Amino acid sequence: MDTINTSYILHHMHEDELPLNAVSPPVFQTSIFCFPNCKALGEAMQDDACHSFYSRGNNPTVNLAEEKIAALEGGERAKIVSSGMAAISHAVMAFVKAGDHVVCVEDCYGWTKTLLVSYLARFNVKVSFVEGTDTGEVIAALRPETRVLYLESPTSFTFKLQDLPAIAAEARKRNIKTIMDNTWATPIFCNPIKFGIDLVVHSASKYMSGASDIIAGAVIGSKDDIELIYRQEYLQLGPVPDPLMAWLMLRGLRTLHVRMKAHHEGALAVASFLEGHPGVERVFYPMLPSYTQITLARRLFSGASGLFSFKLRTKKPEEAIRFADTLRLFKRAVSWGGYESLVIPNAICYPNAADIPPDRVGLVRIHIGLERPEDLIADLEKALAAI
Ligand SMILES: *Cc1c(COP(=O)(O)O)cnc(C)c1O
């Protein structure tokens, strides 16, 4: 982890240009920008990807956050949008047309799957799913009409990793756009662009705010790719980030590197505890020394975040639910990435208990917040004893 560069970007990049020597950037809560004459307005409108004249396109508070996120990811440009799903849908839709094919990892974020399976089907775009852990399997799924290869490493709930450099190189040879959801690792621990991935997408609703107080997304890539997304999707579909949201994101970003280090340390301590507990069958935390893909994890990530899952030994969904209900410091909620610890048993994601796949009955996902790890471990110990 390049801490000097990271903290420079987060604390200082463009900050000495702020009006009135303000240390915190202003929230430009304005829909329009006025110009001294028509020539200046006309010029701004012609170069619309780079100028603020209407906040559906650009806004200085939003642009400041975009420049920092692009620099953090090592991309030329970034666009912030109103949710992680807006980032994902824009990145995918910009590079497919009727008749095209997409390859995606099986255990991707649930709404990503719905987008690819149900929404894109209306436009005659086909999708194939791969487990993703075997690069050969991924390559074999590529077809002549494949235009997008969508990755999420680690995958949602199951934490399976993909060999990003190997897959990106194969996709590049075939002129296929690679998109990677990097929400879990954040740009602090992983920079997919350095591994050859074309576009990185984020749900900024997670660690970028760090306070569970915004819904936002970001897409990062080359100048050409981001300007294509901007012109071809964003200006028409309009997932506009609010300037106040961008400001909250900037505030969150200032502490991102410090928080991520604490999430990593806390999660590693809790994952190690769970691994040694007789009530736990398996722990899925990529940075655990015993993890099946630990060698790949160490190549991809310089650290790991606070989100992971584990499998309780119980075969009864009601026991997994009682375990989650007994916890006191862990709150029961969706999402993650804030200062607080959270829990969600996978069983409650299925409307009927009969539909829960047998290997997911005892599967529980937790987010390790910024509480003292020893307090979280004591809480988990009590809840495990309640099963
Ligand atoms: C939450 C999440 C998303 C969706 O982000 P929103 O901001 O809720 O739209 C996408 N990918 C991953 C991995 C997520 O956890």
Domain identity same for 96 and 236: yes
Listed in sequence order, the residues at least 6 apart from 10 whose beta carbon sits closer than 8 Å to its beta carbon are: 68, 72, 253, 254, 256, 257
User: What is the pLDDT at residue 15?
Assistant: 87
**253, 272, 305: which is the final residue of a domain?**
253
Ligand 1 in reach of 239 Cβ (< 6 A) = no
Cis peptide before 187 (omega within 30 of 0): no
Distance 1 CA to ligand 1 centre (A): 24
Domain identity same for 124 and 199: yes
Q: Which among 158, 183, 212 is the best mutation to test ligand 1's pocket, defined by most ligand atoms within 8 Å of the CB?
A: 183
Report pLDDT digits (tens) over 208-234: 999 999 999 999 999 999 999 999 999
Domain identity same for 172 and 147: yes
Domain identity same for 15 and 154: yes
pLDDT at 300 over 80: yes
Ligand 1 in reach of 205 Cβ (< 6 A) = yes
**237, 253, 269: which is the final residue of a domain?**
253
Band of pLDDT at residue 48, cut at 50, 70 and 90? confident
Band of pLDDT at residue 316, cut at 50, 70 and 90? very high
pLDDT at 3 over 90: no
Range of the domain at 333: 256-385
Q: Whose CA is nearest to atom 5 of ligand 1?
A: 84
CATH of the domain at 212: 3.40.640.10
Q: What is the mean pLDDT of residues 133-157?
A: 98
Domain identity same for 187 and 300: no
Whether the CB-CB separation of 190 and 302 falls below 8 Å is answered with yes
Ligand 1 in reach of 181 Cβ (< 6 A) = yes
Domain identity same for 261 and 235: no
Distance 85 CA to ligand 1 centre (A): 6
Cis peptide before 154 (omega within 30 of 0): yes
Amino acid (1-letter code) at residue 150: Y
Q: Name the token pair of 373.
A: 């790890």
Interatomic CA distance for residues 324 and 364, integer angstroms: 8
Report pLDDT digits (tens) over 345-354: 999 999 998 9
Distance 156 CA to ligand 1 centre (A): 10
SS3 126: strand
Domain identity same for 147 and 19: yes
Where does the chain have alpha helices with state H?
Answer: 3-11, 38-46, 60-73, 84-93, 110-114, 135-140, 164-173, 186-189, 223-229, 235-237, 243-253, 256-275, 294-300, 317-326, 373-385
Distances (CA, A) of 32 to 7, 59, 216, 248: 32, 9, 22, 21
DSSP state of 193: G
Q: Please give the distance of CA 206 from its chain centroid, rounded to a whole number.
A: 7
Report pLDDT digits (tens) over 328-339: 999 999 999 999
Report pLDDT digits (tens) over 189-199: 999 999 999 99
> Strand 146-152's sheet: what is its strand order?
77-81, 217-221, 199-203, 177-181, 146-152, 101-105, 126-130
Query: Residue 345: enclosing H or E segment and its boundaries?
Result: strand 342-345
Residue with tokens 């009864």: 316
Domain identity same for 237 and 273: no
Domain identity same for 206 and 305: no
Interatomic CA distance for residues 279 and 312, integer angstroms: 6
Domain identity same for 69 and 204: yes
Distance 102 CA to ligand 1 centre (A): 19
Ligand 1 in reach of 85 Cβ (< 6 A) = yes
**253, 280, 315: which is the final residue of a domain?**
253
Q: How many domains, the chain? A: 2
Domain identity same for 72 and 91: yes
CATH of the domain at 360: 3.90.1150.10
User: What is the pLDDT at residue 82?
Assistant: 98
Residue with tokens 């979280």: 376
Domain identity same for 157 and 13: yes
pLDDT at 1 over 50: no
Ligand 1 in reach of 218 Cβ (< 6 A) = no
Q: Whose CA is nearest to atom 9 of ligand 1?
A: 84
